[in-house]
Structure 1
Amino acid sequence: MDCPTCGKSLSTEQGMRQHHTKVHDESLPNRTCSGCGTAFYDPKARLEFCDDCNPNAGEHNGNWSDAKESAACNRCGSDFEYYPSDKDGVYCSDCVEAALGLLPENPSERGERVTVECGHCGSELEVRPAKLEQRERGCFCTLECYGEWLSENVVGPDHHQWEGGAIDYGQRWWRIRRQALERDGYECQQCGVGADELGQNPDVHHLEPVRSFDQPADAHTMDNVITLCRRCHRHAEAGSIAVSPRDEK
């Protein structure tokens, strides 16, 4: 499947979509409007209509600019406009502003925060003290940083997929790994991101886990390995994405 922007050929539609989002910084349409037939992108892939055809948009939306209603302020008597809801308008904005400090504190106001460093990249972020106490592994600025930290620190018996001691991959592994990278053009075969974009060589993933073989060397065959970026590799190991051999794509 070819990328509509750069023409790069990807083996799967999912890989092509991920490639377009990462490389071209734009998500491809994933929905077709039931009203006008226009293709559009919805992050959750749930919407039935585009913005122009949405029956809940425009005058049908309670927050539509022309849907405001007028009322007299209960305090100063001046007329003001408000968006209709299940409650009638009571006070104008001037009276509300004048009452600041006299009303009870808003429980949703920003509470105390402390500055900590991301456990992986060292970037500063602000968190509530209570949340800091709950995070035994520390705090992270993004899920990607948390995933990288897990890959580096949650290993051996601490890993949820731990099944025993270390496996000696042997010298053959490094030769097969290099050949797989060369065969796959140093690009992730799931999303299409390459070594230049990653800033390092991608990983090489065993389709059939090494532990399922009596001899680890038997797992190191070209038809049992595939190049994946670190992100796709984690998803493949967790079983959240299906990775097929190259000859099945």
Structure 2
Amino acid sequence: MEQESGVVAQLCLPLAAAEASSAQSETQGRSALCAHCGAKVRLSAWLQDTGVALHYCDTTCRQAWARTEESFAVRLDHGKARRRRGGNWQIQAREARYRDECRCQECGVTEKEMGQRLHVHHKIPYRRFHSNVEANKLEHLVSVCAACHQRLEAQLRRELPLFAADP
């Protein structure tokens, strides 16, 4: 489960991951329509409980939708994220997930249930800090699933409009 590559950036599980889930979650899950192309997306039971309204059949559709949606104009360049977050980011992110017992601190889903690593969210926007050492302190980090991460970031953009885009 633990991998050193960048965090997978997606808002919901793609259809392929949903189909790869157990037969039990398929029978308990329901379907939704992809927000971009309208294709049917199977939702696992835990994802239904998150309250996320937007779903995508894959990362390509999510990215295409984000390019056309004005409120999602701010994009993260995950290829450079490790450098931007500082040399201690990977260690601190791993420590945060370990501290949180690999469980989303918002909805309670585990990495094992999701089949992928949790995201690590800065409670205070990273750019508010003067150093990565301060920004990446464990007290400023929380482990969340992709769906909850999306919701937390959108909430921050609404509450702190000055921090919606990099300066």
Question: Normalization by structure 1: what TM-score?
Answer: 0.36
Q: 1:239 aligns with which of 135, 155, 163?
A: 155
Q: Report the CA distance shift for 1:144/1:138 in structure 2 as closer, same or farther (over 3 A).
A: closer
Cα deviations across residues 96-151 of structure 1 (Å, max 9, x unaligned)? xxxxxxxxxxxxxxxxxxxxxxxx5379xxxxxxxxxxxxx533424322695436
Q: 2:99 aligns with which of 183, 190, 196?
A: 183
Q: 1:209 aligns with which of 113, 125, 141?
A: 125
Q: 1:150 aligns with which of 59, 62, 72?
A: 62
Specify the structure having the higher radius of gyration (Cα). 1
1:121 corresponds to 2:15: yes
More helix by share: 2
Secondary structure at the aligned position of 1:239 is classed as helix
Q: 2:111 aligns with which of 195, 206, 214?
A: 195
Q: Report the counterpart of residue 139 of structure 1 in structure 2.
A: 38
Q: Sequence identity, in percent?
A: 26
Gaps of 5+ in 2: 1-13, 19-35, 42-53, 157-167
Once residues 89 and 56 of structure 2 are traced to their aligned partners in structure 1, the CA distance between those partners, rounded to angstroms, is 28
Which structure is higher in RCO with an 8 Å CA cutoff and minimum separation 6? 2
Q: Report the counterpart of residue 93 of structure 1 in structure 2.
A: none
Once residues 38 and 152 of structure 2 are traced to their aligned partners in structure 1, the CA distance between those partners, rounded to angstroms, is 25
Q: Report the counterpart of residue 160 of structure 1 in structure 2.
A: 73
Deviation at 1:176, TM superposition (A): 0.3
Once residues 94 and 146 of structure 2 are traced to their aligned partners in structure 1, the CA distance between those partners, rounded to angstroms, is 16
Q: Report the CA distance shift for 1:140/1:219 in structure 2 as closer, same or farther (over 3 A).
A: farther
Gaps of 5+ in 1: 1-119, 124-136, 241-249
RMSD: 3.6
Q: Report the counterpart of residue 87 of structure 2 in structure 1.
A: 171
Amino acid in structure 1 at the alignment position of 2:74? Q
> Are the aligned partners of 1:169 and 1:217 in contact in 2 as well (CA < 8 Å)?
no
Once residues 170 and 150 of structure 1 are traced to their aligned partners in structure 2, the CA distance between those partners, rounded to angstroms, is 27
Deviation at 1:170, TM superposition (A): 2.1
Amino acid in structure 2 at the alignment position of 1:197? E
> Are the aligned partners of 2:15 and 2:57 in contact in 1 as well (CA < 8 Å)?
no
Q: Report the CA distance shift for 1:151/1:192 in structure 2 as closer, same or farther (over 3 A).
A: farther
Secondary structure at the aligned position of 1:192 is classed as coil
Q: Report the counterpart of residue 134 of structure 2 in structure 1.
A: 218
Count of matched residue pairs: 107
> Are the aligned partners of 2:97 and 2:143 in contact in 1 as well (CA < 8 Å)?
yes
Q: Report the counterpart of residue 17 of structure 1 in structure 2.
A: none
Amino acid in structure 1 at the alignment position of 2:91? R
Deviation at 1:163, TM superposition (A): 9.4
